[in-house]
Amino acid sequence: MPQVYQFLVGKEAVAKRLDAYLAENMPSLSRSQVKKIIEGGFVTVNNCAPKVAQKLKENDTVQVSLPAPKPLETKPENIPLNVLHEDEDIIVINKPAGMVVHPAPGNYAGTLVNALLYHCPSLTGIGGVIRPGIVHRLDKGTSGTLVVAKNDLSHQTLSSQFKKHTIFRLYHCLVYGTMESDQGIVALPIGRDISHRKKMSVRTKKGRESVTNWKMLKGYRDFSWLEIKPETGRTHQIRVHLSGIGHPVVGDPVYGGVSRLANLKDKSLMESIKKLNRPILHASVLGFHHPRTKEYLEFTAPLPTEIQEILDIIQ
């Protein structure tokens, strides 16, 4: 079934181009995607086929009928997994940096889902064909603990725990600069950046409540080593919040963690961080109640060797 959206144009949008209006009101779509759906006949204005650059009038009715996404044919792949725990209901993985969690345009193979389908053939159909068993995710460049549901009971129960923010998550990361205190809380709403729509930001018109607790474990001349406890689970939350307070995660290519490399006086360290080719952000601990037994479980993934080597250099 297609997804149907309807908008009534208000005074503030009079004379605005249709493509610009939809891009602003449908943040999941880029400007180029909006153009394609208009040209593809999936948009009407007052029940008529519009032009991409059509200027809107007050009380115009804009309707968008997005076609249902075509499911990806995800194939099992014999990719080694670092399994921290497995039983009939769940599997807990120590995900390496560089591995995408589920297939998407540009990453149809080599994902965690491809590996899981080979390791656990029964996952097919649990939680959808595109993201079988996936109840949360880690960014491509982030390593560490991740739990996957192996049946519908586990999927529903774990999803509920994540939705209620009762999951315990502990991260460690290296950021630029010395923190102003030993610990603190970042409570800034996160949404689409007002200028760069493909990025998340605290500079947003429609932000969602987001809370990140941080504690400085060690301070260096140019860096701080932090322990992070997020209370919410927004997209790129830790990276966005730390960048928003002026301390981007070292190695982060999107939120300022790479652009500040040029300021380092230690050129050898700079080259080592460049070669790392990932944000220095690791999901160390994951705790939750088992979906069947209700027992509280907690799993720890040790720091990857490449992160430990960077920490050894800067000591």
User: What is the residue-averaged pLDDT of the chain?
Assistant: 91
Residue 14 CA neighbour count, 13 Å, CB half: 6
Instruction: Return the structure tokens found at 193.
Output: 């950046």
Residues 6+ away with beta carbon under 8 Å from 195: 203
Which of 139, 152, 182, 266 is the catalytic position? 139
CB 293 within 8 A of CB 307: no
Spatial CA neighbour of 310 closest among 287, 290, 281:
281
Q: Domains in the chain, please, with CATH?
A: 3-66 (3.10.290.10), 83-163 (3.30.2350.10), 168-301 (3.30.2350.10)
The predicted-structure confidence for 225-274, as pLDDT tens digits, reads as follows 999 999 999 999 999 999 999 999 999 999 987 888 878 888 888 898 98
pLDDT higher at 104 or 101: 101
- Please confirm, yes or no, whether 139 is among the known catalytic residues: yes
What confidence category does residue 28 fall into, taking pLDDT thresholds of 50, 70 and 90? low
Mean pLDDT of 6-19: 94
Bridge partners of residue 7, in order along the sequence: 62
Give the whole-angstrom CA distance, residue 228 versus residue 189.
17
